[in-house]
Amino acid sequence: MADKPKGEKRFEIEEDLSKVEIPDILPVLPLRGIVIFPSQIHPFLVSRPSSLKLIEECGQTNKVIALAAQKNPEDEQPTPEGLFQSGTAVSIVKMLRYPDQSVRVLVQGLARIELGQFTQREPYFLAHVKRLVEPVSSDKEIDALHAHLVSQFSKFVSLVPYLPDELQVMAMQVKEASRLADMVASYLKIPIEEAQD
């Protein structure tokens, strides 16, 4: 069974996550068909045995884990080589167990990470991770691109019936260009490779 979202809403949060500590070694949960971005809150379903084992052992609320998208979403048993090297460190916000043993997990993206050496493959992956520092810059060109993206995203939201109108207001309130780009990208139906880029 897939670790896939089922049309859930994602919500932007307002907390500053730049100071959150990311451990050097994290359990790695492979995702198929989705990329979770920093600063986003996102639910997804976990049903694979190895992923369930990871959640069972590591899934207390506020626990930090790594999420990495699979290169091939059809792969039932991905290897470390089958994962994209860039992922997201997330904090587990909430979990809900279902009678069929699957678990709905709500996570908050904390930071972009790069997966390093894997130290464990069974029963789930553990890997060294490195936080990717995002450059913070502001100039007239970035400010103009930021304003243009807000405008274009507002038009996009008004044309797509399943997106709530509140997203337009949320986009206007985001001050950091990189965070705005993550928010917009999380609502676009684009191929995994593009989302990874």
Q: Quote the pTM value.
A: 0.80
Which pLDDT value is given to residue 56? 86
Which pLDDT value is given to residue 8? 42
Query: What is the sign, positive or negative, of the torsion defined by CA atoms of 70, 192, 150, 168?
Result: negative
Highest-pLDDT range among 89-98, 136-145, 152-161, 170-179: 89-98
**Structural contact between residues 87 and 67, judged by C-beta atoms closer than 8 angstroms:** yes
Q: What is the amino acid identity at position 163?
A: L
Better-scored residue on pLDDT, 105 or 15? 105
Non-local (6+) Cβ contacts of 124 within 8 A are 27, 28, 29, 50, 51, 53, 54, 57
CA distance 197 to 194: 5
- A 10 A CB-CB count for 120 gives 12
Question: What are the pLDDT digits (tens) for 172-189?
Answer: 888 887 788 888 887 878
pLDDT at 33 over 50: yes
CATH domain 11-131 topology: 2.30.130
Question: What are the pLDDT digits (tens) for 93-136?
Answer: 899 999 998 899 999 999 999 999 999 999 999 999 999 887 66
Task: Map out the domains of the chain as residue ranges.
Answer: 11-131, 140-196
